[in-house]
Every structure is written in C-alpha cells, then in structure tokens.
C-alpha cells in the first residue's frame, strides 16, 4: 500500500478533494488515504493551523494531496496563526522547493480564455516556481507601528537546485527555458542569472533566455506560445502562474506539483473560494489533475497519470465543464464532473 496524506482544508477544499479521491480510487486500489487537518478547520478544531499530527503524517507518507485553505473568518489572526502560514510551513517542512505549474490550453475550448483564439491556440507552458525561499521566507521580516519589512534572499544552493530542475524539465519538453527576474533592479536576480548561465553549459541542447518580470507579464498575454518552461523565484511565480491560468481560461483547471523534498505535495493552484463553498459548483479538475501529477511524480505511475489527463481532455472536448467555464455546452456540478472523469478512466 502507498500512503497518501490527504488534507482537504477549508472552503471548497473538501468538495474538490473528494472528487480527486474518487478518481484515484478507480485507477488504483493500493492507496491508503489518511485524512489530516490543516488551515482554518484545524484552528477551529484543535486550535492551531498546522497540527503536529498533520506534519508527522505528511512526512511519513508517500505523497500529500492538498485542497485549499483560508477564509475571511481567520483573516484577522496574526500572520503566523493564519491558515496560509500552515501551507508555507508544510511546504518548507517537506522541503518541496520546486513547484511545477503546467498551463496547457485545451484547443477544443479556446473560447474559455479571455484572450483571442489565435493567441492561446497550442499554448503549452510550464511555470517552475521556487517555493521555499525568497521573500516568502527570508529574514529579516517584521511589522511595527512605523514600518514593515520583508527580505528577498537567495543562496547559490537554492538557486542552483531549482534551476537544475527547470533545465531537466525543459530537456523533456521543447527545450526552451526562459528565466524570469528583475535583474535590472535586484541583486538576487543577478545571482540567478549568473548561476543559470553557468548551468546552461551542462545543458547545451536547452535554449536559455532571460526576461524581466514586467515584460514577462506582458508577453504572457501578448504571445504566450513563445514560452516553454518559465523558471522564476517564489513571488514572481505566484503571480505569473495565476496569469497563466487565464491564458488557459480558468484557474479551476490548473494543477501543481511541489517536489524536490522528502515527500511531494500536490495541490490545485487556486484558493479556497469561500464564496462558493458548500454549493458543489466548484470545478474539481485542477485537483484531479494534481492527483494525476501525484501519480506521475511521487508514485512513478505514468500510465494512470496519463489516463486521468486524457479523461479530463476528453470531458473538455465533449463540451462538459463547471460553473467557472462560461462557454461550455454542458454544465456539471462538482460531483457530476468527478463521476464523469472517473467513469472515463475505467473505459
């Protein structure tokens, strides 16, 4: 049996995770799911956002599947007590420094994107986001009555290991790597550039380019097809991956894999969407695709990962979608979408 630590979290988290579990159960019968508390629900139940039991379970599992956390109810807590802090601590404790966020446009549903069809057609890019360093984690950080401070710090090792993953990803794809930074202003970016240039000597077949983040934000909507792999630091990656989701058409479709540490963490890139929680209208596809990534990267099960991804592509091709997908022919609720994908996985 493979042990999967399941963290449903808050808002739509439980609804979407249930559908991912449904799909996983039809493709594999050797998974043991252990549910753990994290986020707002953990604060309400046991008084802390990341209970030790959750951390222990995550660290002793083969993979962690995570839904979403956070909500207005907990927004006024001190920063380190908020649900978001639990997620950051989990990422950091697992050591998952590499966050892979694929954004692939479904050519059967180009109208989903707010951009023109001819701009988004064939877009297939991967954001490789550094996840456990930079301004999210560096010291000093503080806030007092008069001032507040955050720091963006990166060591050579932190840059080197994420860059290596990005080069490896590019090697398996179209062999284009674009490093996104702010080297015209930031010292950290200058170091990133130096190390990437050095590392590129080991990957002569990968074409390395550099782009400033403001330009990248523009290029992503001007001509997203120019990108294959985008490598970037934590905060820029957070922002650009949300932007990339709009190229695809809905944030409800984008999955992510966080790897490089002891145990992989798999989560949709969207949040807990408290406004629609409990209505069963949330799109479970991003979470189902995250489960596919879990099979691929943590369980080495490419066959079933592909089976799930193909089922999702088929559903979209056949005109099915959820509330977030405005132009689809057949609107499904959360459970119906999970059922349909699960059914296609066994056909």
Which residues does 295 contact at the CB level (< 8 Å), separation at least 6?
24, 27, 28, 301, 302, 304, 305, 308
**Is residue 10 among the annotated active site residues?**
no
DSSP string, 267-304: EESS---GGGTTTT-S--HHHHHHHHHHHHHTS--HHH
Distance from C-alpha of 57 to C-alpha of 36, rounded to nearest angstrom: 8
Residue number, 113 or 290, with CB nearest to ligand IPM: 290
Per-residue tokens: 187? 């010292």
Residue number, 22 or 182, with CB nearest to ligand IPM: 182
Does position 87 bind ligand IPM by CB under 6 A? Answer: yes
Residue 66 Cβ vs ligand IPM, minimum distance, rounded to whole Å: 10
Residues 226-245 binding ligand IPM (CB under 6 A) are: 238
**Is residue 303 among the annotated active site residues?**
no
Compute how many residues bind ligand IPM; rule: CB under 6 A: 5
How are beta strands 229-232 and 176-181 bridged, if at all? Answer: parallel
Residue 57 Cβ vs ligand IPM, minimum distance, rounded to whole Å: 21
Residue number, 84 or 124, with CB nearest to ligand IPM: 84
Contact present, 27 and 308 (Cβ < 8 Å): yes
Residue 271 Cβ vs ligand IPM, minimum distance, rounded to whole Å: 6
The DSSP letter of residue 217 is H
**Is residue 182 among the annotated active site residues?**
yes
Which of Mg ion, ligand IPM, none is residue 268 near (CB under 5 to 8 Å by kind)?
none
How are beta strands 207-212 and 176-181 bridged, if at all? Answer: parallel
**Is residue 214 among the annotated active site residues?**
yes
Q: Which residue is nearest to ligand IPM (CB)?
A: 84
Could you list the residues that contact ligand IPM (CB under 6 A)? 84, 87, 238, 269, 271
Supply the residues annotated as catalytic: 136, 182, 214, 238, 242
């Amino acid at each position: 049996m493979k042990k999967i630590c399941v963290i449903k979290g808050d808002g739509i988290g439980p609804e979407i995770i249930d559908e991912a579990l449904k799909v996983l159960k039809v493709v594999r019968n050797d998974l043991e799911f252990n549910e753990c508390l994290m986020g707002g629900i953990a604060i309400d139940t046991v008084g802390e956002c990341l209970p030790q039991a959750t951390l222990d379970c995550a660290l002793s599992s083969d993979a962690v599947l995570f839904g979403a956390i956070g909500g207005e109810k907990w927004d006024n807590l001190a920063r380190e007590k908020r649900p978001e802090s639990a997620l950051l601590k989990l990422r950091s404790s697992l050591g998952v420094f590499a966050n892979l966020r694929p954004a692939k446009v479904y050519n059967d549903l180009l109208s989903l994107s707010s951009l023109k069809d001819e701009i988004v057609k064939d877009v297939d890019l991967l954001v490789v986001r550094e996840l456990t360093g930079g301004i999210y984690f560096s010291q000093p950080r503080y806030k007092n009555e008069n001032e507040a401070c955050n720091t963006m710090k990166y060591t050579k090792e932190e840059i080197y290991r994420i860059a290596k993953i990005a080069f490896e990803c590019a090697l398996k794809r179209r062999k284009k790597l674009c490093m996104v930074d702010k080297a015209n202003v930031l010292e950290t970016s200058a170091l990133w550039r130096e190390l990437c240039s050095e590392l590129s000597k080991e990957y002569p077949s990968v074409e390395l380019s550099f782009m400033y983040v403001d330009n990248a934000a523009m290029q992503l909507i001007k001509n997203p097809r120019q990108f294959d792999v985008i490598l970037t630091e934590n905060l820029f990656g957070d922002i650009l991956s949300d932007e990339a989701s709009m190229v695809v058409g809905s944030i409800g479709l984008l999955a992510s894999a966080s790897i490089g540490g002891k145990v992989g963490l798999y989560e949709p890139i969207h949040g807990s969407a408290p406004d629609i929680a409990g209505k069963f209208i949330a799109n479970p596809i991003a979470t189902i695709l995250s489960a596919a990534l879990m099979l691929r990267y943590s369980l080495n099960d490419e066959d079933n990962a592909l089976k799930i991804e193909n089922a999702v592509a088929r559903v979209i091709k056949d005109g099915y979608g959820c509330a977030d997908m405005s132009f689809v022919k057949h609107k499904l609720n959360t459970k119906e979408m999970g059922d349909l994908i699960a059914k296609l996985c066994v056909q």
